[in-house]
Structure 1
Amino acid sequence: MNPPDITTTRFLLADDHSLIRQGIIFLLEDFELEHEIFQASNLQQLLESVKMNSIDLAIIDAHFPDGNSLSILEELKKMRPEMKILIFTGIDESTYSLRYLNAGADGFLSKMNEEEEIEQAIRKMLDFGEYISPLTQALLKSSIKNPQLINPLSALTERELQIAEMYAEGLGNLEIAGKLDVKQNTVSTVKKRIFDKLEIENLVELIELIKNNQ
């Protein structure tokens, strides 16, 4: 009589801090399931690991030295549509969780949580394929009435978005004014309004927002 097949669950732990990865490894050892663990400390390693291995659950940080994981979620899902993604990060859940879920993540978990909550989140990801915290559930309900929670660019008018995209393309006030046939101080005024609405302070943040929300 042949022994029953034992299914191996493949995890990918992607975080640039080895202590975080090690902490999750210790946690998974208590799950009493046959598993294999792959690790990545930057976006390039993350992409390569997903490409090379049939990952069941990827536990991924938001920020890496070489970029933001938000920008590659769509690519990861195209590579492995069946793979579940849990964002495990220190960034503010109330500000960012909906953006990551909207971009393709299946769960969002704050590193500020207690170990018990972290374990519960991972178990829910394994059992149901998603983890939505009470806070994010409330945000999802609010987002029906306020789309800006998912895509902050929706707060901009058509002209503001047009100018924001020009800034993101590398154009300056003078060039934008010339292209739109308006005064340069008008462009400066719109720029200030854009920054106020998006709650950002510089062009680097603006470029990141546009890249991640279009």
Structure 2
Amino acid sequence: MRILIADDHVIVRSGLCRIVSDAFAGATVGEVGSCSELRECVRESSWSLLVLDIALKDQNSLEVVPELRALRPHMPIIVLSMYGEPQFVVRALRAGVAGYLTKDRAPEELLKAIRSVLGGKRYLSETVAGTLADHVALVGSGTEALHELLSPREYEVFLLLAAARAVSEVAAQLHLSVKTVSTYRTRILEKMGMSSNAQLMRYALQHGLVR
């Protein structure tokens, strides 16, 4: 068994590797910290499963999932994320991941997810499944949300702007340039038909996207 861990935080990545290695005796556990490293690693070697942080430092991970699936169509992917909002979960599932759980879950649940996905099943943590069910009910009612028009990275930037973060703070947190974040902000405002961060904040509060 060969399990690959992709997370840009060294301490988190090391902890995940230890958890997986201790639980699966004899398994080969690899690690990478960026999307560029991930592409190269998946291209060069076959893996039984990938545990993927949703936001690696050089790119939003969901944007590379289709490419990874094309390279290794039989490699299931579990997304491990600090975001539990349905917009992220829906995008991940549409991209083709087999599992999704948030980083606040216990290590035992990650191992449960790995075993489930290796057994050919999907896995969603209980809280994620609950928010996803609410989202499906909302969409089924015919209510269209403007934030659904955003790409994964745009949605990530949108949430931070809506939480009253300055462009420089967003850039630092997502490891992007200020110019790039400003470009994303312009796209977000255009797609959502708004003209200011204040409108983004009001919208996010009304839709329960920030607190």
TM class by smaller structure: 0.5 to 0.7
Residue in 2 aligned with 1:80?
72
Residue in 2 aligned with 1:158?
none
Q: How does 1:116-131 map to 2 (within 5 A)?
A: 116-131=108-123
Q: Contact 2:52–2:78 at 8 Å: present in 1 too?
A: yes
Shift in CA distance, 32/43, structure 1 to aligned 2, threshold 3 Å: closer
Q: How does 1:163-202 map to 2 (within 5 A)?
A: 190-192=193-195, 195=200, 199=204
State the Cα distance separating 1:190 from its structure 2 match. Answer: 3.4
Shift in CA distance, 90/139, structure 1 to aligned 2, threshold 3 Å: closer
State the Cα distance separating 1:113 from its structure 2 match. Answer: 0.8
In structure 1, list runs of 5 or more residues that go unmatched.
1-8, 155-166, 174-186, 201-214
Letter in structure 1 aligned against 2:194: K
Distance in 2 (alpha carbons) for counterparts of 1:92 and 1:198 = 19
Residue in 1 aligned with 2:9?
17
Greater shift, 87-96 or 50-59, is seen at: 87-96
Q: Contact 2:98–2:123 at 8 Å: present in 1 too?
A: yes
Distance in 2 (alpha carbons) for counterparts of 1:81 and 1:111 = 26
State the Cα distance separating 1:88 from its structure 2 match. Answer: 1.0
Distance in 1 (alpha carbons) for counterparts of 2:42 and 2:203 = 33
Greater shift, 126-135 or 48-57, is seen at: 126-135
Distance in 2 (alpha carbons) for counterparts of 1:66 and 1:197 = 30
| Greater Cα radius of gyration, structure 1 or 2 | 1
Could you say what secondary structure the match of 1:30 adopts?
A: helix
Q: Contact 2:33–2:56 at 8 Å: present in 1 too?
A: yes
> What percentage of residue pairs aligned between the two structures are identical?
26
Shift in CA distance, 33/126, structure 1 to aligned 2, threshold 3 Å: farther
Could you say what secondary structure the match of 1:191 adopts?
A: coil
Residue in 2 aligned with 1:28?
20
Residue in 2 aligned with 1:163?
none
Match of 2:49 among 41, 52, 57: 57
Distance in 2 (alpha carbons) for counterparts of 1:93 and 1:18 = 25
Q: How does 1:98-177 map to 2 (within 5 A)?
A: 98-147=90-139, 152-153=148-149
Shift in CA distance, 71/114, structure 1 to aligned 2, threshold 3 Å: same
Residue in 1 aligned with 2:158?
none
TM-score, L = length of structure 2: 0.65
| Number of residue pairs aligned between Structure 1 and Structure 2 | 165
RMSD: 3.4
Distance in 2 (alpha carbons) for counterparts of 1:190 and 1:42 = 33
Q: Contact 1:16–1:64 at 8 Å: present in 2 too?
A: yes
Q: Contact 2:86–2:135 at 8 Å: present in 1 too?
A: no
